[in-house]
Amino acid sequence: MTSVITLLTDYGLEDGFVAACHGVIVGIAPEARIIDVGHLVPAGDVRRGAAILAQTVPYLPAGVHLAVVDPAVGGTRRAVVVEAGGRMFVGPDNGVLSWAVHAVGGAQKAYELTNQDLFLRSVSPTFHGRDVFAPVAAHLSTGRRPSDVGPEIPIDRLVLLPKPTSRLRDGAAEGEVLSVDRHGNVQLSITASDLATLGVRVGDTLAIWLGRRQISVPFRETFTAVPPGELVAFTDSAGLVAMAINFGDAAERLGLPPGAHVRLSSTRLPV
């Protein structure tokens, strides 16, 4: 029996949507421990939800991981349970689960949610988080087998988000903006190990190309290593290069949306 259910959504905190999902889970699995990963994913931003779940799941107990960022709710997209790394992932088959599934070793089996006996009696076409996903997650946490939810589907038919681009070329690291958090910090797909391969060290100054623009940014251990209002690059808690403004919004100042191309190198090195 699995007693931990984690919950990630784009429902926000202003309404009762999250509480309704909690209530459904507790009504079916009163012993379940619910961990809220977060509910402030920008509405419909599957990529941001996928990044948050993938970067958080290594620190979560094995259990049922429920993620509902579902802009196509009520449409033709499938609802699925994916077994991976001794865990069960529940959510829409739109890619929101894919990076986290990869982070724990990859999908082993997958099932489509079709067993209506596991849903709430009345299913709203616009609130599958409450009426489909939450009750299924609760039933799984009480010991129901994933195969009880519906037919098995080939794991190579699951929807996968494209992996973030990152490569080393001509003495520079090239990548993209992976996500922007609520503070305006810009997380890149470029890793700390990419910079180490280039010989970049804390204390260096980075040359960063943002399209046709080039800026120089100090590379430090943390954003507080520069004065308020100053731009800085650092390695974040996920091991990725990020840009921030101490007491400011880097994404707004730089005009960098998720997916924007970025190239960087140390100014000590030839470009």
* Number of structural domains in the chain: 2
Q: Give the chain's largest Cα–Cα span.
A: 65
DSSP 8-class letter at 231 = E
In a shared domain, residues 119 and 244: no
d(CA 120, CA 130): 8
In a shared domain, residues 92 and 113: yes
Last residue of a domain, one of 137, 157, 177: 157
Last residue of a domain, one of 157, 184, 215: 157
- Residue 66 CB partners (closer than 8 Å, separation 6+): 5, 6, 7, 8, 21, 90, 91, 133, 134, 137
CATH number at residue 55: 3.40.50.10790
Placement of tokens 């982070």 in the chain = 103
Domain that holds residue 111: 4-157
pTM to 2 decimal places: 0.90
Last residue of a domain, one of 157, 184, 211: 157
CATH number at residue 181: 2.40.30.90
**pLDDT tens track of the chain, all 271 residues?**
558 999 999 999 999 999 999 999 999 999 999 999 999 999 999 999 999 999 999 999 999 999 999 999 989 999 999 999 999 999 999 999 999 999 999 999 999 999 999 999 999 999 999 999 999 999 999 999 999 999 999 999 999 999 888 999 999 999 999 999 889 999 999 999 999 999 999 999 999 998 888 999 999 999 899 999 999 999 999 999 999 999 999 999 999 888 899 999 887 544 4
In a shared domain, residues 147 and 172: no
